[in-house]
């Protein structure tokens, strides 16, 4: 029984091939247009019939841009008892200049033979200029929520299709590279059909994709065209055959449509910038909590600041906490960062944690600030999320504690001979003895030593803060890398690569005393070369920075995050050697 089943399955698969034996083999090129307007698209197909081919090679398509392809389809049919099977390789092309466009021969191997198609020629004509108010049946647009923005502001971008005929299906063929923008897709939005009137004609519209884009630099950013393929049902005027179970499948005609390029103007932030501004652009809210309001000089106080808004949350850093010298504040940590969707746009939330050490007893008011730029009002907004009264008392630890000197141990008594004659022991006289003169001279020795010490300290060359920072550059970089390791373990790739980039750039900044505002890839590479670093080490260093920037700004990378982390540690160590 099992053997019969196997033979039956094999027969089902081989039956069409067996019936094709003796049939004519053809390999032909066709196009769905003899003439095409410059700027429009057309389809060219290469069809192999009654054979199984290998190693298909298309022509170069010189004089045309390949918009889509290769698309492969197969078809099998029986006509008057004769089976015919075909495989078609198709491409959508867009001519780049007027004149005759020649599509060269495609090649394919069939057994030991090479088959090739005949060249075909298409006339590319200059189209008539579109008259004002003239409309089309189907077109698409890239629509921005605003044409003017500032760096870090969320701009919503929609791919929108307009049509006056039925559309069976659609698909995005090619998207822009979005240079100078960080891009994140929005999945929850109103994608239903909406009626709109354009130039006096009513269209049905549909948003087929929505993105949140965040400009990373000021200036004009061009968003290149988006190419979309739509399938429109063909109405041939015939009735569907109710006896045919496949008659519900409607034949369609595919069209390639392309949007016009759009320009986003990115403006610089106005001056003056608030002292507590830390990169937030959009609409934001903030909240703060304190773990205690009464503490001693031995305690640490933890302040948590939560900021949330619709801007690029990745750009937002911890705002500076302005306190008096009565407190010592450690560098804040990013405790939490997440992003979600609401009402068709993206929202982000970030939590910063500050560790505060009180040094002087007293009554204080702690009032953290958070500043952001509101694009709607074109103004900076300063928020005071909370005001905390703090009472600081003296702790147990006192830095002015007198240390009691340790008394010298008495020497052990030695064995002495027993004297047979008695001696009269006279009372010793302290004045004039060695201890007496030692106590007299000791204050003068201490005073002289103090004067000498002060003289040495006064004439000691001052500590070079820049040199000290340069010396500690490697240590500081590895401390920053430890933060990236935390994000690596959490699977937060974007934060991981951002911290890797900050660690490497911070290393160069500390090592060569370069202000953060002057850091650029060219400047970094130039300084490393001037320092005499090994060429291979410099190449590795710059490669890691580029990989990190790609992950942060382009939203992904193919690199192994664990390998990038280890390479970052190793390359800093290698440069220091």
Assigned domain for 220 exists: yes
The residue from 347, 375, 393 where one domain ends is: 393
Q: Is residue 207, in this structure, part of any structural domain at all?
A: yes
Three-state DSSP string of 282-333:
CCEEEEEEECCCEEECCCCEEEEEEEEECCCHHHCCCCCCCCCCCEEECCCE
335 lies in the same domain as 376: yes
In the chain, what's the furthest Cα-to-Cα distance?
152
CB within 8 Å of 280: residues ≥ 6 apart: 152, 307, 309, 311, 315, 316, 370, 371, 372, 373
Rounded Cα–Cα distance for residues 379 and 375 (Å): 7
Of 250 and 71, the structure prediction assigns the larger pLDDT to 71
* 151's tokens: 């760096």
- Check which CATH number belongs to the domain holding 337 and give it: 2.60.40
Q: Which has more pLDDT, 362 or 548?
A: 362
**What would the two tokens of residue 6 be?**
């196997």
Do the domain assignments include residue 419? no
Q: Do 259 and 313 belong to one domain? A: no
Give 416-467 pLDDT, tens digit per residue.
Answer: 333 433 444 444 455 566 666 667 777 767 777 767 766 666 565 554 445 5
Residue 201: give the domain boundaries: 138-236+247-267
Q: Which of 507, 505, 483 is nearest to 495 (CA)?
A: 483
Domain membership of residue 103 (yes or no) is yes
The contacts of residue 119 (CB under 8 Å, 6+ apart) are 29, 102, 103, 104, 105
Average pLDDT score over residue span 292-298: 91
pLDDT at 536 over 50: yes
Do 163 and 120 lie in one domain? The reply is no
Instruction: Provide the number of structural domains found in the chain.
Output: 4
| pLDDT value, residue 455 | 64
> Residues 261, 196: one domain?
yes
pLDDT of residue 539: 87
Same domain, 231 and 157: yes
d(CA 201, CA 191): 22
263 band by pLDDT with thresholds 50, 70 and 90: very high
Sign of the alpha-carbon torsion through 160, 165, 166, 170? negative
Do 263 and 282 reside in the same domain of the chain? no
Q: Is residue 155 part of a domain?
A: yes
The per-residue pLDDT of the chain, averaged, comes to 80
**Nearest-angstrom CA–CA distance, 264 and 526:** 33
The CA angle 219-499-565, to the nearest 5 degrees, is: 125
User: What pLDDT digit, counting tens, does each position of 125-179 carry?
Assistant: 887 665 444 457 899 999 999 999 998 999 999 999 999 888 888 888 889 888 8
Q: What is 3-33 written as a DSSP string?
A: HHHHHHHHHHHHHHHHHTTTSPPEEEEEES-
Paired sense of beta strands 113-116 and 82-95, if any: unpaired
Examine the domain organization and report whether 90 and 201 are in the same domain.
no
The answer to whether residues 99 and 62 touch, using CB atoms and an 8 Å cutoff, is no
Q: Are residues 185 and 282 in the same domain?
A: no
Same domain, 147 and 91: no
Query: Residues 289, 308: one domain?
Result: yes
103 and 56: one domain?
yes
CATH of residue 78: 2.60.40.10
pTM for this predicted structure: 0.55
């Amino acid at each position: 029984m099992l053997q019969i089943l196997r033979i039956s399955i094999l027969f089902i698969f081989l039956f069409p091939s067996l019936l094709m034996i003796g049939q004519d083999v053809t390999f032909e090129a066709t196009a769905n247009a003899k003439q095409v307007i410059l700027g429009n698209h057309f389809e060219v197909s290469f069809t192999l019939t009654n054979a199984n081919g290998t190693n298909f090679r298309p022509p170069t398509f010189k004089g045309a841009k390949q918009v889509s392809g290769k698309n492969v389809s197969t078809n099998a049919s029986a006509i008057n008892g004769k089976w015919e099977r075909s495989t078609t390789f198709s491409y959508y092309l867009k001519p780049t200049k007027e004149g005759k466009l020649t599509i060269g021969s495609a090649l394919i191997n069939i057994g030991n033979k090479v088959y090739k198609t005949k060249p075909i020629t298409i006339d590319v004509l200059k189209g008539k200029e579109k008259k004002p108010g003239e409309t089309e049946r189907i077109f698409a647009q890239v629509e921005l929520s605003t044409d003017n923005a500032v760096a870090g502001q969320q701009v919503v971008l929609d791919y929108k299709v307009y049509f006056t005929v039925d559309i069976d299906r659609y698909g995005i063929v090619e998207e822009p590279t979005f240079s100078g923008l960080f891009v994140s897709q929005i999945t929850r939005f109103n994608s239903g059909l909406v009626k709109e009137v354009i130039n006096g004609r009513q269209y049905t519209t549909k948003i087929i994709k929505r993105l949140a884009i965040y400009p990373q630099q000021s200036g004009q950013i061009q968003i290149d065209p988006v190419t979309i393929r739509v399938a429109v049902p063909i109405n041939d005027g015939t009735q569907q055959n109710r006896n045919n179970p496949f008659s519900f499948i409607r034949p369609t005609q595919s069209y390639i449509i392309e949007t016009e390029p759009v320009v986003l103007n990115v403006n610089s932030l106005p001056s003056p910038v608030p002292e507590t501004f830390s990169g937030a652009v959009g609409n934001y809210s903030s909240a703060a909590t304190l773990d205690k309001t009464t503490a001693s000089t031995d305690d640490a106080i933890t302040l948590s600041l939560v900021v949330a808004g619709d801007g690029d949350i990745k750009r937002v850093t911890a705002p500076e906490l302005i306190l008096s010298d009565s407190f010592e504040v450690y560098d804040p940590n990013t405790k939490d960062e997440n992003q979600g969707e609401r009402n068709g746009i993206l929202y982000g939330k970030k939590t910063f944690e500050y560790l505060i050490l009180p040094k002087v007893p007293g009554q204080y008011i702690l009032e953290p600030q958070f500043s952001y730029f509101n694009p709607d009002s074109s103004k900076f907004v300063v928020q005071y999320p909370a005001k905390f009264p703090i009472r600081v008392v003296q702790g147990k630890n006192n830095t002015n504690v007198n240390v009691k000197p340790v008394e010298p141990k008495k020497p052990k008594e030695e064995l002495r001979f027993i004297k047979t004659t008695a001696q009269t022991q006279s009372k010793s006289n302290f004045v004039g003895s060695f201890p007496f003169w030692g106590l007299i001279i000791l204050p003068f020795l201490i005073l002289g030593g103090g004067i000498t010490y002060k003289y040495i300290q006064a004439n000691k060359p001052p500590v070079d803060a820049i040199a000290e920072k340069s010396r500690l550059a490697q240590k500081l970089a590895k401390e920053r890398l430890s933060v990236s390791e935390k994000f690596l373990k959490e699977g937060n790739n974007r934060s991981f690569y951002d911290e890797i980039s900050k660690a490497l750039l911070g290393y160069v900044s500390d090592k060569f005393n370069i202000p953060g505002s002057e850091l650029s890839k060219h400047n970094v590479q130039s300084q490393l070369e001037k320092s005499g670093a090994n060429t291979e080490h410099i190449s590795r260093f710059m490669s890691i920075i580029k990989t990190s920037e790609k992950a942060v700004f382009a939203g992904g990378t193919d690199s192994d995050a664990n390998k990038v982390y280890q390479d970052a540690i190793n390359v800093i160590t290698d440069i220091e050697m």
